[in-house]
A and B are shown apart, each in its own frame.
Chain A
Amino acid sequence: MYETFEHIADIGVRGYGKTMEESFCNCAKAFFSIMFENFDEFEPENTIELEVESVSYEGLLVKWLNKLLAVSEIEGMVFSEFEITIHGFGIKSRAKGVFSNKHSFISGTGIKGATFCEAKVIKTDDKFISQCVVDV
């Protein structure tokens, strides 16, 4: 499950999951849902592998989202499915999606970057919550 949340001028993205990995993947879905309203409408055709490292889980989330943003722009892809493993403060991930010029995407709001504002990775009794504010 994912959602967006309030910020005075920008937008927050939040993902929930039974594992930290699942919450990161759902946070990435919230991220792409801001840019393309129908980001998950098309069956993925391509996969990109990405690895990032940081010094904290919050840093890892922000860095991974920013890497996804950069790669999606460079490759001209819209990602909708994610597989990740987290070891320490490192991520190995596979982002799956389609080329944006081959499909009709409904344009949303462009994201300039994922930020550390409200960046949190929390474990509750039964789930993980991962979130941050994105600058739009």
Chain B
Amino acid sequence: MRNTQATQLLFELAKPGRRANMLPPSDVPTTPTEKLYPSGALRHEPLELPELSEGDVARHFTNLSSLNMSVDTHFYPLGSCTMKYNPKRNERLANLPGIVDLHPLQPDESAQGMLELLYELQSYFAEISGLPAVSLQPAAGAHGELTALMAAAAYFRDLGQTRTKVLIPDSAHGTNPASASMVGFQSITIRSRADGSVDMDDLRSKVDEQTAVFMITNPSTLGLFEKQIDQIAERIHSVGGLIYLDGANMNAILGIARPGDFGADMMHYNPHKTFSGPHGGGGPGAGPICVRDFLEPYLPVPRVTKVGEAYRMDADYPKAIGRVHGFHGNIGVLVRTYCYIRAYGGKGLRNVSEQAVLNANYMLARIRPLLPVPLGERCMHEFVASASKLKKERGITAMDIAKRLLDYGFHAPTVYFPLTVPEAMMMEPTETESKETLDAFVDALEQILSEDADTLHAAPTSTPISRPDEVRAARKPVMRWTATP
């Protein structure tokens, strides 16, 4: 029952003369704009935008939405992305008048409630991380990495030290090395051992006085807690370097272990993951960072402070790296984060991680007999299975399984990441799924593995489209609609 008419492109649905949005007649004199502006600055050709009625627009986008899988409609065990339920109350509360309609530059006196919320949120972030100083400004996890690396660079500059290297394990997200490059650091890859932990010999051979920062994701992208973290931290600190914790996987350790207690000097959160964002079809995220007190002077400005009983947006920090965002960061996401944290409270947050880890281990226990999980009998909040053996024996790849899962009404796990596991399938159930859902997923997987290879190669067959030709898309890219193709 797909409505193919309404899901044509906007530009194909358009018809000259259709109108949707209308303004009231002007209540001030309508001086011709030619008299107001230099001719060279004015548009002389008609603007090429589609012309549609409101009904066209509503039906078009409603139908498009039905072509997506989402957390609201499907189990979405996309590893590393923490696709948990996004509470409806957060949407309502973040859209309250007095919250959603605040201008970023309005006087502090007229935004005391918002500033109080942000100030409290800073204290929650500090408490959960064990790192006392917070900046809410970074707009995404990668932006938080970049901001913290800048703060670290400013700290070393202040000490009169030139440090050039950032060390990063081979299983890390690509954003880590990319962020390091943007701050002028050289990325050095540290090998993982067969069990997924950092190869300490490799680390020792690469740490020296040039080491600025060691970036680590802990729990790692393999879903394992790096037990040597305190030894790593000791080694890095002994040469004067800093530990950065990529907080992508905080959902496993809320209230259980704190980065500041296990050696990290700085970290970011991904509130769209850990604190139920939501993900918005690719964003927005947010990337607040927490750092140790000696790094506080370098955090970006402005920052939320409290003077007496009054809250302020304060830009008066002479050693600050500057500003990293047009305004104060992704406040709308942070408001939802605040609501989420308040709905759970301190004890509840610990329970979130306990249930997330329970769900992941349950799934792992049920999947291990079906697919090899190369690293670990147990996991934290996620684990990585491998289709490597299946590929050799039956020509079935991780991609084939992923695609067939779609036919069974499940979103696929993350595939081909981390790069260190061949034919990787990274699964993260999150805490907001029931045992019944996890069972149904594993049953589907079992069924799929009993199907013949051709069925899997042909999958998916029940989705709005079959597998798209990505080679064609990349060879001769078509990145916009044009009237004459």
Asked if chains A and B come from one complex, the reply is no
